[in-house]
Amino acid sequence: MFEEAVIRQHILPNRSIERFCSGDPPKVEVLLLKHGKLLSLDSKSGPFYATRKWDEGIERAAYKFETDFQILADRICQDLMVLDETHWRTINNFYAILGERSRARYVALPTESRLENLSPGSSKPKKELDDLERDSIFLSGDPAQANRGVIGFAQRLALGAAQRSNAPWGIARSAEREFLVSDCFHLTARIPLSPRIYLERRPLSLEKTQHSRQLTGNQVVAFNQDVFNEAEESVFARKFAKAGLLVDQRPAKP
């Protein structure tokens, strides 16, 4: 899987986006906020990617967490109703990666570096530099790679913090409306699973059986409004008509 450097990287994993897709070929509806355009796109389209902004070592670290999470997500989408501490661990590990990827997406890369022409690796072919980066050796000296190294360090700290605690999560289900998904996952601890299922971080004081909740149509609309307000560049849904929001009435961002 890691034979080549990953240049364009999903924020929310492809498998998660696919659960929202419908039609043939499978697509979701994506609203580009700055342009006010509603597009029908597949899970491998531009709004779901960032140019590589975290180092290759993070990709390897994230692979197991993503795999474990998707196995659990499938169970929740099928019939799992109550989450225990083992499930919380899987979700917290995944959210540590997801939240940091989301945050990194909106960190501006520096445009110049004094190290670029001084680095011992500056004359090496790009593929060799990418191969070295996968082993956490940063020799190019270019500002983008230096930034990835710093962001990768921050993500490793987030993973370490996730191991020192195990915050509880619950399941939010909708019987009527469908959920929206923002492009910012680091602002509020919640994870989209399907058009009618979200995961939410919940207070530790609640009983396990109270961590999950069934949302009414009006509650889903309020939930979607919060998600919508947090978005930076785009939101998506299986069908916006089922989300309960008049999304075309939001003014474009400057």
Q: How confident is the model over 72-88, as pLDDT tens digits?
A: 999 999 999 999 999 99
183 with 235: CB under 8 angstroms? yes
Give the single-character DSSP code of 194.
E
Which pair of tokens denotes residue 125?
């072919």
The 10s digit of each residue's pLDDT in 193-226 is: 999 999 999 877 677 667 789 999 999 999 999 9
pLDDT at 51: 81
pLDDT band at 253 (very low <50, low <70, confident <90, very high): very low
Q: Which residues of 205-236 are buried (b: 16+ CB within 10 A; e: fewer)?
A: eeeeeebbeebeeeebbebbeebbebbebbbb
Which pair of tokens denotes residue 41?
């796109």
Pairing of β 213-215 and β 169-174: parallel
Q: What residues pair up with 9 in beta bridges, in sequence order?
A: 50
